[in-house]
A and B are shown apart, each in its own frame.
Chain A
C-alpha cells in the first residue's frame, strides 16, 4: 500500500494555474484506503475547484491509476470530457499520476504526496515496514526488516549508538530493531542466523529508475 497525504490546497491551487476546466481522478486503491484520493476526497476536491472558479467536467474513480492498462480503458469513459478539459487533477501516488500523464495530452496535476509503502493498522495509522531495498533479508531476520526499522538501515546488527538496555540511540524511546530480531530468532531456535554477514545492497537494487523490464520500458 502506497501511503499518501494530500498536498496543501495552496500548492494545488498554484499548480492549476489559469486553467479552469478540469477532470478530477481518484484512486480507488491505495489513496482510497488512505482517505486522500478515494471517491469522497475526489468529490471534495471537485467542490473546492468549483469554489475556486473552475469547472469540473468529470470526477472519475480509477481502480488503479498506476495500472496503465486499466487507466487507458477507464479514461475512454470520459473521452468527450477529456477533449474539453484543460487539465486533470490526479489524486493518486506519483506512479499513478505519471501513468495517467502518459495517456493524455493535457497537463496532469498531482494532488498527493507519496511517502512510503506501508502496512495498515487502521485508517490513519500506517507503518513503514518495507523499504523496497531490493535485497530482502526477512528470511534471515525472522520476518522483521532491520533496513526499515533501523534509522541507519543497517543490515548486520546493532550500531555503536545503542544503549545498555538495547534502546536505539537515534530514536531514543524505541528498542533497537535488532533486539527484536534476535529475540524472535532465538524463540524460533534460529539465533545462529544472527551473526551471518549480509553484503551491502547491490547497485542493481538501488540504481534508479528501477523496473522489471531491464533497461527499457
Chain B
C-alpha cells in the first residue's frame, strides 16, 4: 500500500450498514478504508465485503482489538482477516470505559501483539493508532515501529505531524462521515516532508 487517504470508520450498528455504503461511495477523494475499534458494533470482518463491493480498488484495514481476546482468538481473527481479503491489521489495545460494566481482559498489548503475529506467520501490514505528542508516546511509537508496525494512525487537529523513524504517520481528524455513525475521516496527505520518515 502506498501513501494515500484513508477513511476511518468507527462503530457501525447493523442498521447503519447501508449508510456505510453511502459514506464509502461518497468518499471519492479517499483511496482506502481503515476500520477502527468497533466496540459493540458490527465486527469489521463482516464489513470488509461491504467495503469491497463499493470500493473494490481500495485497500481495507481491519482492527485487531486485544481487549477481551486471548491469543487463540486473536490469531483466529488475524487469519480470518486474511481470508476475507483485508490488506492490513490495525492493532489496538481496546477501549476501556470507567467504570466498566464487565471485567475486561487485556492480556496482550500492541507491542506484544505485533511481534507475536509475525512469529505466527501473519504477514498482513500492521497498523496501530495512538498519540505521538509526549516523550513517552513518542518513545512508544518508536518501539512499535521496531516491533514491525508500518503505519501509525494519530488523532490530528492540525499543525505539524510527528515524525517517527520507521513509521508512516496517518493523521486522523474527527470529522464525521455523513451517514456512518461515529465514523472518522483521516486527513491526508501530510504537509510536505512531514509524516513519513
Task: Give chain A residues whose Cβ lies under 8 Å from the Cβ of B95.
Answer: 161
Give the Cβ gap from B72 to chain A, nearest Cβ, in Å: 13
For the complex, what is the distance from the CA of A136 to the CA of B107, rounded to whole Å? 15
Indicate if A162 sits at the interface (CB-CB under 8 A). yes
Residue contact B98 to A156, C-beta cutoff 8 Å: no
Answer whether A155 and B98 are a contact pair too, CB < 8 Å, given A165-B133, A165-B134. Answer: no
Contact of B136 among A163, A170, A178, A200 (CB under 8 A): A178
Provide the main secondary structure of the chain A interface.
loop
For the complex, what is the distance from the CA of A156 to the CA of B93, rounded to whole Å? 11
Indicate if B147 sits at the interface (CB-CB under 8 A). yes
Segment from A37-45, A124-132, A191-199 that makes contact with B:
A191-199
Residue contact B136 to A166, C-beta cutoff 8 Å: yes
Residue contact B109 to A159, C-beta cutoff 8 Å: yes
Give the Cβ gap from B8 to chain A, nearest Cβ, in Å: 12
The residue of chain B having its C-beta at the shortest distance from the C-beta of A162 within the complex is: B131
Give the Cβ gap from B108 to chain A, nearest Cβ, in Å: 6
Q: How many chain B residues touch the partner (CB < 8 A)?
A: 34
Give the Cβ gap from B139 to chain A, nearest Cβ, in Å: 5
Contact of B137 among A151, A158, A200 (CB under 8 A): A158
Residue contact B139 to A182, C-beta cutoff 8 Å: yes
Give the Cβ gap from B88 to chain A, nearest Cβ, in Å: 16
The residue of chain A having its C-beta at the shortest distance from the C-beta of B71 within the complex is: A200
Indicate if B73 sits at the interface (CB-CB under 8 A). no
Indicate if A95 sits at the interface (CB-CB under 8 A). no
Contact of A195 among B67, B104, B109, B142 (CB under 8 A): B142
Residue contact B136 to A194, C-beta cutoff 8 Å: yes
Chain A 9-31 per-residue mask, 1 if CB under 8 angstroms from chain B, else 0: 00000000000000000000000
